[in-house]
Structure 1
């Protein structure tokens, strides 16, 4: 029998593409998309959709009952840069939505949960190079704090109540289909759009800011892969380190110049620079590669080619 899946926060950057892929795998009618609004009309009209507030426990519970949901992907969150502007809202959304889903699973109404963590759990005291799975986590952002605390609660609910919750620490995610939602790594999406539209870009991070990144296809692949693994094979119930490629704004600009020679970039670091400086420059994800055979497909050059090809179609049909 196929799973009945609910995606909370389906209109977000990752949720949009995750919904599409899960419907390809499980069938359109078996994947219910939900969000607090209907801004993404293409997704809203593509299959079952529910307007759902991730902070409303009863609404989530009723939705799960009426649609016979057994698996939840909780993708709703306020990200790092937006979270610094609205710290209490970030705490409220990021933490309470997780508790609601964990508590539903505690009653065995929900059989399996995916909840994304982030490299934001790390901080300036974390080893910056090849950051290990188990290391110091002293985040300096509200977003990072919510993810660190969320990891602890996920592991607690697994150990205490046998809740099958799975998680990965996303690096910066890059996609041509949906715009980013207020993260510190958003420059790596914006730069491609501006390269096509204007031939230039002003980066809010300095040219040598080296951060872990990932193309959306790899992020979706990782999310689906970890949810497909037998529970007994998973050794991490907080959140798995995940890695693909690491680069600087200068690196990504050079990869664009290889295809758009007239492209230029300038640098004007803002408050997001301090956030980026507190994060690792590369991640050791050997545990994920061992436990569930994680591997990435896209390097920087392939990602740039994919981004520019698809954005050219969007802006210059």
Structure 2
């Protein structure tokens, strides 16, 4: 069966690059991008695009039927920091969009669903180092609460209705192509922009806040790999832990200084510090590695080189 893929929330940080990669693999006509607004020129010009409100079941169904969609990647969500400002809106978007897609699969309209969870499902009582796949989960943000609830619903729909839904818990995602999108880990993107624009950065997290991170290419590979895996390889139907690297604002600033020696960093923790303090410092993702062969490729040093090389072209920065 040929793949016909719909990406909901294709204009976001991960959605844009996921769309482009899937079009590269499957052909531009096989991958339908959608969002509530239009995206970048690169996204819009690389293949079909439909305007969809992720909370509107009928608008999703219309596109599914129009293109005979058999796989849906639901990337639409309101992230952690933004969600704390608009808690009811965050809950409504994050949960209703998931129900819409799960119910499409339940009714047989689509065959396979990808839905991303997050390290935000963990909370202050979760073990911080090498956070296990199965552990205490008491999230303290609306985003985390919605993701934890979503994991339970994904597992329920698999057990009760046989819905082939697959999920991974993303750590902080770093990319030079997309602007920061309202997440607590987004300092790790902002810092590179500010280093090249101003030579300094004021971090909203403190010096020693260690968080799990991942370069976008690894996140895209993991997303596609879990969807390509045989159903019997997917032994966890809530969501898999996923890890790449863990570092602090101080550590990434020291890495930047190897290229930009005069770079300066200061610290003014804001409300996002409390969110970050509730999250793990490092993740045990051995289950993903065992079950479907996950393996990351980019470490802190390599990621820093990639970010600076690409963003220096954007800002016409010579070093």
TM norm. shorter chain > 0.5: yes
* 3-state SS in 1 of match to 2:69: coil
Q: Which 4+ runs in 1 deviate beyond 3 A?
A: none
Describe how 1:217-228 pairs up with structure 2 within 5 A: 217-228=217-228
Corresponding residue number in structure 1 for 2:136 = 136
Deviation by residue 1:135-192 (Cα, 9 ceiling, x = unmatched): 0100000000000000000000000000000000000000001112100000000000
Distance in structure 2 (CA, Å) of the matches to 1:61 and 1:292: 30
Distance in structure 1 (CA, Å) of the matches to 2:212 and 2:64: 35
Corresponding residue number in structure 1 for 2:280 = 280
* 3-state SS in 2 of match to 1:287: helix
Corresponding residue number in structure 2 for 1:9 = 9
* 3-state SS in 1 of match to 2:110: coil
Distance in structure 2 (CA, Å) of the matches to 1:4 and 1:294: 24
1:72 equivalent in alignment to 2:61: no
Corresponding residue number in structure 2 for 1:173 = 173
Distance in structure 2 (CA, Å) of the matches to 1:39 and 1:222: 23
Corresponding residue number in structure 2 for 1:27 = 27
1:9 Cα offset (Å) = 0.2
Distance in structure 2 (CA, Å) of the matches to 1:139 and 1:200: 33
Corresponding residue number in structure 2 for 1:297 = 297
Distance in structure 1 (CA, Å) of the matches to 2:210 and 2:35: 33
1:127 equivalent in alignment to 2:127: yes
* 3-state SS in 1 of match to 2:6: strand
* 3-state SS in 2 of match to 1:279: coil
TM-score w.r.t. length of structure 1: 0.99
1:269 equivalent in alignment to 2:266: no
Corresponding residue number in structure 1 for 2:51 = 51
Distance in structure 1 (CA, Å) of the matches to 2:70 and 2:222: 20
Deviation by residue 1:206-244 (Cα, 9 ceiling, x = unmatched): 000000000000000100010010001111000000001
Describe how 1:35-114 pairs up with structure 2 within 5 A: 35-114=35-114
TM-score w.r.t. length of structure 2: 0.98
Distance in structure 1 (CA, Å) of the matches to 2:173 and 2:233: 26
* 3-state SS in 2 of match to 1:125: coil
Corresponding residue number in structure 2 for 1:254 = 254
1:39 Cα offset (Å) = 4.0
Corresponding residue number in structure 1 for 2:212 = 212
Distance in structure 2 (CA, Å) of the matches to 1:141 and 1:35: 24
* 3-state SS in 2 of match to 1:101: helix
C-alpha RMSD of matched pairs (Å): 0.8
